[in-house]
């Protein structure tokens, strides 16, 4: 349990308490151990591949988005394994200490709790990077292609907009924090104030808190934030995305929808999906075409077979002539 008190700038103390349970067991079952070994094996395999790519591409390696994702997965995984090993050693040390002192020794678990929080964060980032990596395997989907191409087209505009939006948002963050720090609970800290402003941006708010804090400044600042951020900034953001989407639609790239094709074939093969009328006609046409083929279509293949036969006859004759010459005939 961690307890702390925060001295507010407007006088007063804000107490807080936190209960943090710990689990020192590294492996709780044989299945978990086997899965961990397989996971480490895959990480080592991908690490070798990425090192080879890094040696081959040098700094160009970091220009690829998927390379950065792969580096994130590998680094978080290796760090998690190191923390697992450290936690196991720490568990053995604490167990030995408890056995020696019968549980009467003081044990400071603050460092252990911090490392456990870091491990949880690393596992979260591993899941995050892994989920993004999964997008690469379904990149042949039409909707996903449009989404990715739209983001590529509007990347520069979004970066410029982000700088402008961050300046506007930080100014309102300072305004709301300094004005309503002591009167509104959600403005007691910078983090909670930023959370409140994001909720207002998503149109999830309660305006009565501002009117109760100050009859004039509360509604005025709230209305100013709604007009500038919600109406102006978000409209600019939607316009950027809309322009990129229309550009991608006009310049659509024809791609093989491999994932959709495989899924459709699998559903047809397992009879989980019935083919529509057009697909039924296509299947019948292919069957009829395979039964009744125009002879002229097979003419190039027949010519190739004839040339191969002539070539074999010529080679056989040459071999027989060489044998006769060697025999002196």
Answer whether residue 227 is part of any domain.
yes
Pick from 104, 74, 89, 76: which is nearest to 24 by CA? 89
Please tell me the distance from the alpha carbon of residue 329 to that of residue 34, in angstroms, as a whole number.
73
> What is the tally of structural domains in the chain?
3
Residue 172 is classified by DSSP as H
* Residue that is last in its domain, among 250, 278, 303: 250
Please tell me the distance from the alpha carbon of residue 147 to that of residue 261, in angstroms, as a whole number.
20
Domain containing 158 equals 152-250
Please tell me the distance from the alpha carbon of residue 123 to that of residue 126, in angstroms, as a whole number.
5
Q: What is the pLDDT of residue 173?
A: 92
Please tell me the distance from the alpha carbon of residue 79 to that of residue 82, in angstroms, as a whole number.
5
Is residue 225 exposed (0-12), middle (13-18) or buried (19+ Cβ within 10 Å)? buried
On whether both 91 and 179 belong to a single domain, the answer is no
Please tell me the distance from the alpha carbon of residue 265 to that of residue 273, in angstroms, as a whole number.
9
Q: How many CB atoms lie within 10 A of CB 79?
A: 15
Name the pLDDT band for 320 (thresholds 50, 70, 90): confident
* Residue that is last in its domain, among 89, 108, 137: 137
Name the pLDDT band for 299 (thresholds 50, 70, 90): low
Find out whether 218 and 212 touch, Cβ atoms under 8 Å.
yes
Look up the pTM and report it.
Answer: 0.55
* Residue that is last in its domain, among 250, 275, 308: 250
Is residue 247 pLDDT above 80, yes or no? yes
Least confident of 51-60, 268-277, 284-293, 307-316: 284-293
Answer whether residue 58 is part of any domain.
yes
On whether both 43 and 114 belong to a single domain, the answer is yes
Please give the average per-residue pLDDT across 265-281, as a whole number.
67
On whether both 159 and 233 belong to a single domain, the answer is yes
Find out whether 161 and 237 touch, Cβ atoms under 8 Å.
yes
């Amino acid at each position: 349990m961690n307890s702390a008190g925060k001295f507010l700038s407007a006088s007063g103390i804000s107490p807080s308490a936190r209960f943090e349970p710990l689990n020192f067991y590294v492996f709780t079952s044989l299945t978990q151990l086997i899965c961990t070994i397989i996971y480490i094996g895959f990480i080592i395999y991908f690490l070798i591949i990425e090192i080879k790519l890094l040696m081959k591409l040098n700094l160009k390696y970091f220009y690829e988005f998927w390379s950065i994702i792969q580096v994130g997965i590998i680094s978080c995984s290796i760090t998690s394994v190191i923390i697992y090993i450290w936690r196991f050693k720490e568990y053995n040390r604490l167990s030995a200490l408890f056995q020696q002192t019968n549980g009467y020794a003081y044990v400071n678990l603050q460092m252990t709790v911090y490392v456990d929080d870091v491990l949880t964060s690393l596992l979260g980032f591993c899941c995050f990077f892994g989920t993004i990596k999964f997008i690469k395997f379904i990149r042949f989907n039409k909707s996903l292609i449009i989404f990715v191409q739209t983001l590529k087209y509007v990347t520069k505009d979004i970066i410029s907009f982000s700088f402008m939006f961050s300046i506007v948002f930080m100014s309102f963050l300072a305004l709301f924090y300094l004005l309503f720090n002591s009167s509104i609970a959600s403005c007691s800290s910078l983090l909670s104030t930023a959370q409140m402003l994001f909720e207002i941006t998503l149109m999830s708010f309660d305006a009565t808190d501002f009117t109760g804090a100050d009859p004039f400044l509360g509604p005025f600042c709230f209305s100013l934030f709604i007009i500038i951020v919600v109406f102006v900034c978000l409209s600019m953001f939607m316009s950027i995305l809309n322009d990129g989407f229309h550009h991608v639609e006009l310049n659509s790239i024809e791609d093989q929808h491999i994932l959709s094709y495989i899924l459709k074939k699998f559903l047809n093969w397992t009879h989980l999906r019935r083919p529509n009328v057009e697909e039924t006609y296509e299947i019948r046409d292919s069957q009829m075409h395979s039964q009744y083929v125009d002879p002229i279509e097979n003419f190039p293949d027949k010519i190739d077979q004839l040339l191969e036969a002539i070539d074999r006859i010529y080679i056989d004759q040459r071999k027989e002539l060489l044998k006769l010459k060697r025999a002196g005939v």
